[in-house]
Structure 1
Amino acid sequence: MLALVMSTLSVQVVDERHWRVVIDNPPTNLVTPDFVRDLHATVERIVAAPELKVVVFESANELFWVNHFDLGQIKDFPPLWTDAVIKLSTAPVVSIAKIRGRARGGGDELLLACDIRYASREKAIVGQIEVGTGILPGGGATERLPRLIGRDRALEAILSADDYPAELAERYGWVTRALPDAELDGVVDALASRLAGFDKQALAAAKQQINRATLPPAEDLHAAYQEFLASLSFPGFPKRLGGLRELYGKHGAGLEVDLGPLLGDLP
């Protein structure tokens, strides 16, 4: 299996029709500037690969699929995130998220940009934490979640900023299926192999038809990212950030594991 290794992820070429993207940005798979650059470059390769039909996104860290944005580096982020997730959703390639661990904030917005989402029943957790930290989502959640789970459930998820286990996420329609962890690899591999054997033109055209009925306008995603950046100036954000630092002092690295529930302890 050929591989292209970058600083935060690697692309493993199963064959020209089927790739695996393995995210590995220790210790907690935060969305960092380097990750955004690597993701964008990878999506560009996905779009340009003439024989590629299916790509699976997975994590090397069973506690974290892809985590939230690293707000400590926000000034260093390249303006590439929105372009990457739009291109992934519209690419003539089927993207499958194989989810073990936490996918919060930007991580959840990446899995929402994937076409199909299979989650480990025991290990997957999804959530949008931004409002709980005093800012707004900006990577696509406010545009994609209502289309998947309805307005009221999207409001619950985004306003509560809480964690959602895989079974509840499946019931809502947030993920395609929640599977026993022991079955997850086999189900994803079987689907990826099946799709890789189909005609690429038919796969891409069918995806385009469904996109026409379901995807948010690209301009809405661009507007949301600008609103996220503006929300970093909300007067309540520094206080919430200070509270998070206090929580880190109490819980250490465990804060990231239980971040959704612990946000309710902020003053």
Structure 2
Amino acid sequence: MTQHSMFAIQTVAPKIRKVTFSNPPVNVVGADTVVQLLDVLDELSQDERVQAVIFDSGTPEYFFNHADLQQVPELLALTGADGTPTWVDLVTRLTSAPFISIASIRGRTRGGGDEITLAFDLRYASREKALFCRPEVAIGIVPGGGGSDRLARLLGRDRALEAILTSQDCDAEHAEQYGRVTRAVPDAELDDLVNATAARIASFDKPAVLGAKAQINRSTLPPVADLRASWAEFAESVTWPGFQARVPQLGKAIAEIGLDEIERNLGHYAGLINQQA
């Protein structure tokens, strides 16, 4: 097993790896998370044996959660040598990775974490434990990491608007119905489904698997220029007065109600914080 501070890479079979994300207590995604996940992608991409990679969480009740608001300046400052935002580089490299990425989703998946999740090739969700949310509009900003670009293609215009403009939590059943996840299954069946899917894909010829993925990517993925534009619009939105007014309200709510309760029901509390700002 290869260990990064937030990610553990386990060899499940010669062609299959499992990457477990753990950033307790609630698996927020920060600049440090992005850098480490890129390192994980480098490691996996350089191993020609790897054909399927399962991504799961080691933090109960949370998959990949929203961005760490305390690290937003650091996230915005991360850019490559050619000026590409590092976040855009991360999600585009995930979709073009030389393996099939499979998300095993148990727990809350929101904001920036949802944008990483949407970049995985396949997404299987626990019917009882998975939850999804786009909280940005409720706190006065816009999505920046590809959430709008990908959800519009997966859900259609109206359902993408509903998901993003209401900032409400969405359960796994509706996520499956709308096409937000590949499939939602009873929690007791999730591991078997994910493992069987990874094993089946790993049993096929890698050139055929990656060739088919490239064809589907060409037909379905948002242009990188659109992802860059969304990131720039997100960067602008964090300077808006509405967001600046809501951040202290969010801090006050966490102090009064508790981080655990806020995170468990973020869709609900984001709406209340909006009313108080």
2: CA distance between counterparts of 1:16 and 1:235?
A: 52
Residue 44 (structure 1) shift: 2.0
2: CA distance between counterparts of 1:71 and 1:263?
A: 14
TM-score computed with the length of structure 1 as normaliser: 0.96
Secondary structure at the counterpart of residue 122 of structure 1 = coil
State the one-letter code of the partner of 2:238.
L
State the one-letter code of the partner of 1:20.
K
Kindly indicate which of the two structures has a greater share of residues assigned to strand: 1
Secondary structure at the counterpart of residue 21 of structure 1 = strand
Following TM superposition, the consecutive aligned residue runs of length 4 or more in structure 1 with deviations greater than 6 angstroms are: none
**Residue 50 (structure 1) aligns with:** 48
1: CA distance between counterparts of 2:44 and 2:136?
A: 29
**Residue 271 (structure 2) aligns with:** 264
Residue 48 (structure 1) shift: 2.3
| 1:37-81 CA distance string (max 9 Å, x none) | 111111222322212110011001121101111111222233322
For structure 2, the residue ranges without an aligned partner over 5 or more in a row are 80-85
| 1:135-157 CA distance string (max 9 Å, x none) | 11111111100100100000000
Residue 241 (structure 1) shift: 1.1
2: CA distance between counterparts of 1:160 and 1:94?
A: 32
**Residue 35 (structure 2) aligns with:** 37
Residue 21 (structure 1) shift: 0.6
Among 24, 27, 34, the alignment partner of 1:26 is 24
Percent of paired sites with the same residue:
47
Matches within 5 A, 1:175-194: 175-194=181-200
RMSD value over aligned CA atoms?
1.1
**Residue 201 (structure 1) aligns with:** 207
Moved more, 232-241 or 42-51: 42-51
Does the CA contact (< 8 Å) of 1:167 and 1:178 recur in 2?
Answer: yes
For structure 1, the residue ranges without an aligned partner over 5 or more in a row are none
Among 255, 262, 265, the alignment partner of 1:255 is 262
2: CA distance between counterparts of 1:151 and 1:47?
A: 34
Moved more, 92-101 or 238-247: 238-247
**Residue 100 (structure 1) aligns with:** 106
2: CA distance between counterparts of 1:244 and 1:194?
A: 45
Figure out how many residues of one structure are paired with residues of the other and give that number.
Answer: 265
1: CA distance between counterparts of 2:138 and 2:242?
A: 11
Secondary structure at the counterpart of residue 136 of structure 1 = coil
Matches within 5 A, 1:1-267: 3-77=1-75, 78-79=78-79, 80-253=86-259, 254-266=261-273, 267=275
1: CA distance between counterparts of 2:209 and 2:20?
A: 23
Secondary structure at the counterpart of residue 130 of structure 2 = strand
